[in-house]
Amino acid sequence: MNEIANLQPPANEVTPLGVPHSIEAEQQLLGAILTNNDLFDRVAQILRAEHFYDPVHARIFETAAARIAKNNLASPVTLKAFLEDDAGLAELGGPAYLMRLAGAAISSFAVRDYAEMIYDLAIRRELIEVGHDIAAKAARVDVQSEPKEQIVEAEQKLYALAEQGQTEQGFQSFLTAVTDAVKVANAAYQREGGLAGVSTGLIDMDKKLGGLHRSDLLILAGRPSMGKTSLATNIAFNIARAYKKGITNSGEEGAVDGGVVGFFSLEMSAEQLASRILSEVAEIPSNQIRRGDFTESEFRRIVDAAKELEAAPLFIDDTPALPISQLAARARRLKRTHGLDALFVDYLQ
């Protein structure tokens, strides 16, 4: 029978095969939950059964979670009936192992720390698995699997892994919500009552929207040739032109005004899009620019406008018929390399 010793806070373990895990952390956490079911709520948003390295521990956690969810007691005695025939548990000493888990339980204050350790080690194991999978696919020469497709697939897997654990924060007090609302109002007041979000550069639109806010999804609709692309490019350039880098309210480095803009132009080339923006900034019709029909003073305005455009963090991707997976992958790449505050897609279809 395996006995559980009195443990100091365990260090991360690595098996000879390089798989990180901590059996002691899993034992201590399970023992604490079996001793005090109220502790389960502290770790429920962090851990799932699949995060445990030992499959027996995963089944114990899963069974305990199912009983606690039904407001039933999860203790060594109550779990015994459900796990008595478990072959893996039998190898560890049978139901008596549950009693030893509870007997060696840690104090409640350390439960969340152990949960975070178990979760962290589980993510590391998944990273190793993703890495092996990427290497195996790259080594296998297959006509059906192009290298570019493998890169996109790898990015998707890593992004999905990064998103794990980013759960909703749950309930918050009305005081917290009101405080956040006051902060938004104060940001607008600091801009002389203008807006709290990023300015579109169009006064009337800013008054309607209060600027552009993070997580906003805005759809610009209209009949053909009504100026949807022109309006979108104007807003995109105005945001990029106003970009200023500094320390944000959250204490991190980022855009304190304007922002870095990504523009997917699936219908129009980057050169055509740039000509439109150049036309707007220089205040010269785009057809005149394309024909070279302008005076010397107008040409100076075009040159000055081009210099202003060079400094703006506006990035254009004009790849036609771009699938959603590629679009998302390229947006993530732009976010990593240059930052990304606003994303434009022209157009949805």
Rounded CA separation 202/200 (Å): 5
Question: Which residues 6+ apart lie within 8 Å of 302 measured at CB?
Answer: 278, 282, 284, 289, 294
Residue tagged 């807006």 (tokens): 195
The reported pLDDT for the residue numbered 151 is 82
The reported pLDDT for the residue numbered 67 is 92
Rounded CA separation 201/311 (Å): 17
Domains and CATH numbers, the chain: 14-165 (1.10.860.10), 219-346 (3.40.50.300)
The reported pLDDT for the residue numbered 64 is 93
Question: Which residues 6+ apart lie within 8 Å of 79 measured at CB?
Answer: 34, 60, 63, 64, 67, 95, 98
pLDDT tens-place values along the chain, 349 residues long? 444 444 444 445 544 456 899 999 999 999 999 999 988 988 888 888 999 999 999 999 999 999 998 889 999 999 998 998 899 999 998 889 999 998 877 667 788 889 999 999 999 998 898 888 888 888 887 777 778 778 878 887 877 777 665 544 555 666 767 776 676 667 666 655 556 678 888 888 888 888 888 888 899 988 888 888 888 988 998 899 888 887 766 667 777 788 899 999 888 888 888 888 888 888 888 777 777 777 888 888 888 888 888 888 999 998 887 888 778 878 888 888 888 999 999 877 7
Q: What is the DSSP string of 282-337?
A: HTS-HHHHHHT---HHHHHHHHHHHHHHHHS-EEEE--TT--HHHHHHHHHHHHHH
Task: Dig out the tokens for 214 from the structure.
Answer: 């993070």
pLDDT tens by residue, 119-161: 999 999 988 988 888 888 888 877 777 787 788 788 878 777 7
Query: Using alpha carbons only, what angle is made at residue 343 by residues 181 and 337, rounded to the nearest 5 degrees?
Result: 105
Task: Dig out the tokens for 84 from the structure.
Answer: 């008595």
Rounded CA separation 320/323 (Å): 9
The reported pLDDT for the residue numbered 98 is 92
- For residue 209, with 0-12 CB atoms within 10 Å meaning exposed, 13-18 middle and 19 or more buried, which class applies? middle
